[in-house]
């Protein structure tokens, strides 16, 4: 019997309102989309402790705490793409995390001028699997037919990486892309204006410290040099990613979150460099110990036999 998801669509066309479509999933664990690659569940890792011997180590713990506030900041809260489109609501804790509501906004496949929304529903919530991340943030992967995606947990928001191709729901005649920042309604953030400004300023400060530590390593470390060079493009990339977030010019909520994410990434990479340096130092000590092991004592020359009378 085919395991392909059953699709039920209820569409109504309006001149202004978007087309509404429902994608019904047959169970709690949706089938992986063709070509989609989903990592196996992994145990939650404790936050990496930075080395106290480096300048980066002195700020790593503070930056990780600032930029990775934890799952509680998004649990059971309605999140919208760019603060105004679709809907994503998550619940759970630890390794038991699930998506209870998921609506993806997009445009028609046959008529791109027609807006549409795909409401993905199932017999049970969609599981979000925790995976390892090199960027200092909690990361989860979500299996949705035709549209698998991952997200990083930020402060009151999640960040979904941009996708190369759109997610196409043929039965709904709708194509979407979940990439971008999903957070609160941008119009509701005005009371948090001062807090948002302070968060960004602190994240910028952390980035400055991280860049200073990277500069000290750059001469003998090509990865550190590359991170320094990449940083030049970050402000422009942040502006491109955030310009569509509702009320962004007035509040800068998206920019603050992406700045915190950047700070967490730089500090995580610095912690990785420190760990590699520590292993290299330990390896050098082991080699020296081996080289200086006591050599076997040489056998004493045999005494000449006494002369016979």
Kindly report, residue by residue over 111-162, the tens digit of the pLDDT.
999 999 999 987 788 999 999 887 889 999 999 988 999 999 999 999 999 9
- The reply to whether 110 falls in a domain is no
Q: What pTM, to 2 d.p., does this model score?
A: 0.71
- The reply to whether 215 falls in a domain is yes
- Report d(CA 38, CA 262) in Å as an integer: 25
- The reply to whether 309 falls in a domain is no
**How many residues comprise the chain?**
309
Residue 47 has φ and ψ, to the nearest 5°, of: -55, 135
Cα–Cα distances in angstroms (integers) from residue 39 to residues 42, 104, 129, 178, 303, in the given order? 8, 23, 8, 19, 72
Q: Which residue has the higher pLDDT, 111 or 21?
A: 111
- The reply to whether 207 falls in a domain is yes
- The reply to whether 243 falls in a domain is yes
- The reply to whether 241 falls in a domain is yes
Number of domains making up the chain? 1
* pLDDT score, position 134: 77
- The reply to whether 222 falls in a domain is yes
* pLDDT score, position 254: 97
- Residues spanned by the domain of 212: 188-280
Would the pLDDT of 243 be above 60?
Answer: yes
* pLDDT score, position 52: 39
- The reply to whether 231 falls in a domain is yes
């Amino acid at each position: 019997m085919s395991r392909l998801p059953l699709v039920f669509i209820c569409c109504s066309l309006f001149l202004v309102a978007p087309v509404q479509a429902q994608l019904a999933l047959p169970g709690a664990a949706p089938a992986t989309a063709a070509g989609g690659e989903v990592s196996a569940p992994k145990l939650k890792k404790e936050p990496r402790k930075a080395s106290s011997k480096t300048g980066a180590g002195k700020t790593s713990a503070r930056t990780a705490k600032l930029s990775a506030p934890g799952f509680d900041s998004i649990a059971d809260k309605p999140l919208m793409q760019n603060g105004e489109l679709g809907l994503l609501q998550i619940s759970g804790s630890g390794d038991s995390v699930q998506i209870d509501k998921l609506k993806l906004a997009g445009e028609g496949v046959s008529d791109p001028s027609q807006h549409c929304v795909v409401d993905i529903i199932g017999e049970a919530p969609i599981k979000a699997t925790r995976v390892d991340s090199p960027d200092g943030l909690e990361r989860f992967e979500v299996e949705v037919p035709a549209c698998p995606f991952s997200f990083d947990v930020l402060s009151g928001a999640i960040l979904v990486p941009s996708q190369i191709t759109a997610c196409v729901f043929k039965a709904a005649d709708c194509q979407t892309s979940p990439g971008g920042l999903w957070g609160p309604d941008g119009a509701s953030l005005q009371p948090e204006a001062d807090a948002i400004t302070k968060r960004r300023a602190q994240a910028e400060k952390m980035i400055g410290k991280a860049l200073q530590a990277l500069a000290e390593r750059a001469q003998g470390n090509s990865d550190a040099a590359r991170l320094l060079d990449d940083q030049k493009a970050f402000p422009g990339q942040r502006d491109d990613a955030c310009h569509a977030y509702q009320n962004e010019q007035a509040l800068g909520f998206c920019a603050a979150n992406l700045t915190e994410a950047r700070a967490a990434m730089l500090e995580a990479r610095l912690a990785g460099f420190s760990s590699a340096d520590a292993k290299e130092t330990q390896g050098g000590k082991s080699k020296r110990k081996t080289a200086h092991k006591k050599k076997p004592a040489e056998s004493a020359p045999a005494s000449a036999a006494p002369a016979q009378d």
